[in-house]
């Protein structure tokens, strides 16, 4: 069997297995098991030892035990609802095998009178007699039963016996692959093969053995396959030859000099990396990652200026209209007067929108700002040279690839995110991109002072807020839920709005997930114009929006949020040059983890450090407070416990890239780990 047929066998339909009919197949599919390969990753949770045989006189009631007995007499009652019984014996005593919902013919077949049969099941005791009810294992061949049987997390409708039979079929027929890793890599796992690693993974004595070489080998395969696909996408994009941009550095530097602040070292470094990509003949596919308030937007606008001065158009896309407008207003302040920039939004008049689209197609507009609508099919560019996308962290690998293709050959792509994530996750999520990181905060940004406060001390908080309002400042008040919940002891945004409205008449507004877009934009604009002093909100406050006058944020039930999400929320203030405050409110019965989270947040404003600590405390599945699409759902690998394997995979990928190695030998690996749709043209 060659490698191609090997991986095709493992990716074949479940119905190719003996004992898997349509019913069993559908039950397994509900657990997201769609082929033979998927079954291999449903690991045993525990086991039942049926290897030791007991005599009837030594049986222990309530325990699963194995006995060899001889059926002596059938008792098949005429009333259907009553169970069928078979009286059996060994040299030490008697026992009844009891069968509910079973046919006489079936019982006679598995327990023929006078023959020695091995039976395994849970021992009961009824009317002075031992019983086994519906025994799971019955066979004339004792060797089939006297084994250790794995227990799996099963779906209703599949017995342990059936599941073990199905899985054992795959393991017995497991193909032997040609080794795809280098000798140096395999040596780190004591030269164990993929095939043997899978077999070891399913042995009962290895349950929970996460530090073993076989476990690490398989975890490494997962990580490496992801990095390999990302590497191939990077290479494919780099192979696209585009017309390079020619940057006028005199114009760029004159604009930087006119700014009312100095760029940080990280901003300058990131801008240089982007400019290098723009002037290259290889297509840019870069992520600009920065902490909240680190100044990514100005770097992207400078890149846009350089692109326009090179004769190209630029499209800037933001997740919401208000953020798109904010970018547009900032650009208007710093762009040369000869630049023609436009904002297209849902509120644009049809006549105005039509005119903008016409001018865009005729190359009369240099930069267009908007939401995802600017990439609709009816929007045509004349000479698009750069796409800038802000806060599109929900784009997966496939979506980013399509976006890069959509821009055309000469179009560079720059994605931005204000969500710091740990290095291991950055390699996993954004490994298909080049990355620039801005850690430094602008010098005029003051650290946000963070305090924790018991809910019972709310009067102290209100007193503090009254004083801030007197000084002309504004406040965010964040609650986890929109309305009251009987099940969850969280504060409600609606209830808090009613409460604060009485304390601060005509000064409070409410924003939540049920607010429609038009009303939401109106509310945020009114808050921006200082028409309200307090904005009560759920967690939908937009990432990246600047409210320079808002310098206090109160977060209720702070213990219910993850560290990274608390840090993102805290970043809504501290955008101006005022002293800013974050107040974390909580109830008295805090868990140890909640106390740790609050203390970490009080100690540091570094989002990258916070994200690392958050992952340690909560695991990597959902460190951002929402489901991060694009995060590879690893079956074994864990970015916390297997940090060394992530670094090893990165080093190996860099070696392969440097030596320009042929990746054909990795085809089975890529196909098996279900990423082949991205690079499906490997020979």
543: confidence class by pLDDT, cuts 50, 70, 90: low
Q: Are residues 343 and 228 in the same domain?
A: no
Does 662 fall in a domain? yes
Does 624 fall in a domain? no
Over residues 278-282, mean pLDDT:
94
Q: Tell me, what CATH number does 107's domain have?
A: 2.40.50.140
Q: Are residues 295 and 427 in the same domain?
A: yes
The yes-or-no verdict on residue 318 having pLDDT over 80 is yes
Residue with the bigger pLDDT between 648 and 423: it is: 648
Q: Are residues 213 and 273 in the same domain?
A: no
CB 273 within 8 A of CB 401: no
Residue with the bigger pLDDT between 672 and 489: it is: 672
Q: Are residues 117 and 67 in the same domain?
A: yes
Tokens 């030998």 correspond to what residue? 665
pLDDT given for residue 537 in this prediction: 87
The yes-or-no verdict on residue 191 having pLDDT over 50 is yes
Would you call 78 exposed, middle or buried from its count of C-beta atoms within 10 A (0-12, 13-18, 19+)? Answer: exposed
pLDDT given for residue 622 in this prediction: 44
Tokens of 628: 């991060």
DSSP state of 620: S
DSSP string covering 113-126, please?
TTS-EEEEEEEEEE
**pLDDT, averaged across the chain:** 84
Q: Whole-angstrom Cα distance, residue 154 to residue 161?
A: 11
3-class secondary-structure state, position 466: helix
Where is 554: in which H helix or E strand? Answer: strand 550-555
Q: Are residues 575 and 597 in the same domain?
A: yes
b (16+ CB within 10 A) / e for 110-144: bbeeeeebbbbbebbeeeeebbbbebbbbeeebee
Give tens-digit pLDDT for 144-177. 788 887 877 766 778 777 888 888 899 988 988 9
Side by side, the strands of the sheet bearing 474-478 are 449-454, 581-586, 550-555, 474-478, 534-537, 508-511
Domain end among 604, 631, 652? 604
Half-sphere exposure of 558 (CA within 13 A, CB side): 33
Q: Tell me, what CATH number does 577's domain have?
A: 3.40.50.300
Q: Whole-angstrom Cα distance, residue 310 to residue 154?
A: 61
Q: Are residues 458 and 433 in the same domain?
A: no
Domains held by the chain: number:
4
Q: Are residues 492 and 599 in the same domain?
A: yes
Q: Are residues 266 and 377 in the same domain?
A: yes
Does 29 fall in a domain? no
DSSP state of 517: H
Q: Are residues 301 and 359 in the same domain?
A: yes
Q: Are residues 387 and 485 in the same domain?
A: no
Helix locations, 432-585, DSSP H: 458-470, 493-503, 517-528, 563-570
Does 324 fall in a domain? yes
Does 635 fall in a domain? no
Residue 256: which domain range?
249-438
CB 573 within 8 A of CB 476: yes
Q: Are residues 194 and 264 in the same domain?
A: no
Over residues 70-80, mean pLDDT:
91
Query: The pTM is what?
Result: 0.72
Does 28 fall in a domain? no
pLDDT given for residue 621 in this prediction: 47
Give tens-digit pLDDT for 192-215. 999 999 999 998 888 888 889 999
Does 172 fall in a domain? no
Q: Are residues 349 and 470 in the same domain?
A: no
DSSP state of 263: P
Q: Whole-angstrom Cα distance, residue 383 to residue 390?
A: 21
Half-sphere exposure of 30 (CA within 13 A, CB side): 10
Q: Which of 14-18, 78-82, 241-245 has the highest mean pLDDT?
A: 241-245
Q: Whole-angstrom Cα distance, residue 343 to residue 328?
A: 7
pLDDT given for residue 4 in this prediction: 47
**Torsion angle, alpha carbons of 670, 672, 675, 679, to 10:** 40
């Amino acid at each position: 069997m060659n490698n191609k047929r090997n991986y095709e066998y493992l990716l074949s339909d479940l119905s190719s297995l003996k004992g898997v009919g349509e019913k069993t197949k559908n039950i397994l599919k509900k657990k997201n098991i769609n082929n033979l390969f998927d079954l291999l990753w449903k690991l045993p949770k525990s086991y039942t030892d049926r290897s030791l045989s007991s005599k009837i006189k030594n049986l222990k009631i309530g325990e699963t035990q194995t006995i060899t007995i001889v059926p002596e007499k059938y008792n098949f009652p005429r009333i259907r609802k009553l169970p069928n019984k078979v009286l059996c014996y060994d040299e030490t005593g008697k026992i009844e095998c009891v069968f509910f919902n079973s046919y006489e013919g079936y019982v006679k077949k598995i327990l023929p009178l006078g023959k020695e049969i091995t039976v395994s099941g849970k021992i009961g005791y009824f009317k002075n007699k031992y019983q086994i009810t519906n025994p799971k294992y019955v066979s004339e061949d004792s060797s089939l039963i006297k084994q250790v049987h794995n227990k799996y997390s099963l779906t209703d409708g599949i017995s342990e016996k059936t599941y073990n039979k199905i899985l054992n079929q795959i393991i017995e027929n497991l193909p032997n692959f040609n080794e795809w890793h280098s000798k140096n890599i395999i040596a780190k796992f004591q030269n164990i093969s993929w095939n043997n690693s899978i077999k070891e993974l399913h042995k009962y004595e290895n349950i929970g053995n996460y530090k073993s070489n076989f476990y690490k080998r398989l975890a490494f395969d997962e990580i490496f396959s992801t990095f390999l696909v990302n590497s191939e996408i990077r290479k494919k994009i780099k192979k696209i030859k585009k017309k390079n941009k020619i940057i006028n550095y005199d114009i760029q530097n004159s604009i930087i000099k006119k700014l009312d602040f100095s760029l940080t070292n990280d901003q300058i470094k990131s801008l240089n990396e982007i400019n290098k990509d723009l002037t290259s003949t290889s297509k840019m596919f870069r992520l600009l990652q920065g902490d909240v308030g680190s100044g990514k937007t100005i770097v992207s606008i400078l890149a846009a200026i350089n692109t326009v001065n090179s004769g190209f158009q630029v499209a800037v896309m933001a997740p919401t209209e208000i953020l798109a407008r904010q970018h547009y207003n900032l650009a208007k302040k710093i762009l040369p007067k000869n630049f023609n920039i436009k904002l297209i939004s849902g509120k644009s008049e049809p006549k105005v929108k039509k005119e903008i689209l016409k001018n865009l197609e005729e190359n009369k507009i240099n930069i267009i700002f908007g939401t995802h609508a600017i990439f609709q099919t009816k929007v045509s560019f004349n000479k698009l040279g750069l796409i800038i996308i802000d806060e599109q962290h929900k784009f997966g690998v496939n979506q980013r690839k399509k976006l890069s293709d959509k821009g055309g050959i000469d179009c560079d792509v720059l994605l931005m995110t204000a969500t710091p994530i740990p290095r291991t996750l950055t390699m996993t999520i954004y490994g298909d991109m080049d990355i620039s990181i801005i850690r430094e905060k602008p010098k005029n940004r003051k650290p946000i002072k963070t305090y924790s406060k018991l809910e019972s001390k709310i009067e102290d908080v209100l007193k503090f807020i009254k004083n801030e309002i007197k000084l002309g400042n504004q406040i965010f008040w964040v609650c986890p839920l929109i309305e009251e919940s009987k099940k969850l002891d969280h504060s409600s945004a609606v209830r808090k709005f009613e409460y604060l409205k009485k304390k601060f008449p005509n000064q409070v507004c409410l924003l939540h997930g049920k607010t429609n877009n038009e009303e939401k934009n109106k509310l945020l604009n009114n808050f921006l114009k200082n028409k309200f002093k307090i904005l009560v909100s759920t967690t939908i406050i937009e990432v990246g929006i600047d409210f320079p006058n808002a310098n206090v944020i109160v977060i209720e039930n702070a213990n219910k949020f993850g560290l990274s999400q608390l840090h993102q929320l805290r970043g809504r203030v501290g955008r101006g040059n005022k002293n800013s405050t974050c107040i974390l409110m909580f109830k008295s019965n805090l868990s140890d983890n909640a106390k740790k989270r609050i203390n970490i947040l009080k100690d540091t404003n570094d989002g990258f450090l916070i994200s690392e600590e958050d992952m340690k405390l909560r695991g990597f599945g959902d460190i951002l407070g929402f489901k991060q699409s694009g995060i590879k759902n690893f079956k074994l690998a864990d970015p916390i416990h297997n940090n060394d394997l992530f670094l090893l995979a990165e080093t190996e990928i860099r070696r392969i890239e440097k030596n320009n190695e042929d990746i054909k030998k990795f085809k089975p690996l890529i196909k098996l780990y279900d990423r082949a749709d991205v690079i499906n043209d490997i020979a």
